[in-house]
Structure 1
Amino acid sequence: MPGTQKKILGEERRELILQWLQTENKPMTGSELSKRTNVSRQVIVQDISLLKAKNEPIIATSQGYIYIQNPSQTTVHQRIIACQHTPEDAEKELLLLVDHGVLVKDVTVEHPVYGELTASVMIQTRKEVETFIEKIQETNATYLSQLTDGIHLHTIEADTIEKLNAACLALEEEGYLVSNE
């Protein structure tokens, strides 16, 4: 019957999900994967958990699921920076970073009960910043940094140290940078 799609079951579905994530150059949402396999988004969440349990390097970001490929031969420079600002300045902070060619890998805060909480964000473009901010606003979510009076860490990455230095200088000029390592 045209238009009717059959459910893709169990192991076959997880193999397809793995293949799609490995070949996509962009994050894939749970909704997109559920449409492709004709199962619920909750089933996809379970599948991703099962794949992660098999040590597949899949991470969930605000844009969707990403399969972390083996690092290429290009050198990647990474730095952990400490920032502090109000929620209203989150977009400006992220734009400053991506405009300097920097990937914002994650955000970490120190919670008094749970200890260190880290969320993968994987933001590298202005469009990804826009999508992230829209999701925060649409869902009425709070920023992790609101748990710590605006103090938070970011792991940032770039292909040159100069880009990291320029991004940190821009953050410092705005008064957002607490220190960098």
Structure 2
Amino acid sequence: MKKKLLGDDRRAQLLHILKTSGKPVTGTELARIANVSRQVIVGDITLLKAKHEPIVATAQGYMYFHTSATQSSERIVACLHGPERTEEELNLLVDLGITVKDVTIEHPVYGDLTASIRVSSRKEVKQFLDKIAATNAAFLSELTDGIHLHTLIAPSEELLDEAEDALSKAGLLVL
């Protein structure tokens, strides 16, 4: 039987796994590795985030966000469309080499609500949409009649300009 690591040692192990993985790791997988429940992992991740570790939860699992010189430009764009065009929107962006970091809506009661998306390939877009479908979750933009913001990350401002132009031509950008 595997030995359970205690608190700080377990969190150090989780941090090492996330930093070296290069891809999202599910809470279930982390729980298996650490020999604890998934709920313990959720608590550990919350504590690590509270210590300012750049961990994000995506539809594919937890990721450690490494800053990269190749992804140095960031821009927020305002989009408007129904849920049926989400796949088109995300694929248009990732096909240009853009990472869609998150989605934000302005809720009338809660103010700004932001959720991590972190997709940068068609495979990740599919995984994100499959997770939405499997959980029967609503898109945040459904709470605002399709109006939402995305934070986009790209290697250059020129690529972000190209992405904005493509969204506009597709009728997905709020003008």
> TM-score, normalised on structure 1?
0.92
Q: Which residue of 2 aligns with 1:99?
A: 95
The 3-state SS of whatever aligns with 1:165 is helix
Q: Which amino acid aligns with 2:25?
A: M
Map 1:1-181 onto structure 2 (within 5 A): 4-69=1-66, 71-74=67-70, 76-179=72-175
- Work out the number of aligned pairs and report it: 175
Q: Tell me, which stretches of 5 or more residues in structure 2 are unaligned?
A: none
Larger Rg: 1
With 139-148 and 5-14 compared, the bigger mean Cα shift is at 5-14
Give the Cα separation in 1 of the matches to 2:31 and 2:75. Answer: 36
Give the Cα separation in 2 of the matches to 1:75 and 1:172. Answer: 23
Q: Tell me, which stretches of 5 or more residues in structure 1 are unaligned?
A: none
How far does residue 164 in structure 1 lie from its aligned partner after superposition?
A: 1.4
The share of aligned pairs that are identical, in percent, is 58
Contact preservation (8 Å) 2:57, 2:63: yes
- Find runs of 4+ consecutive structure 1 residues off by over 6 angstroms: none
Residues 174, 72 of structure 1: alpha-carbon distance in 2 compared, 3 angstrom cutoff: closer
How far does residue 87 in structure 1 lie from its aligned partner after superposition?
A: 0.5
Residues 73, 89 of structure 1: alpha-carbon distance in 2 compared, 3 angstrom cutoff: closer
Give the Cα separation in 2 of the matches to 1:38 and 1:117. Answer: 34
Give the Cα separation in 2 of the matches to 1:89 and 1:40. Answer: 37
The 3-state SS of whatever aligns with 1:177 is coil
| RMSD of aligned Cα (Å) | 1.3
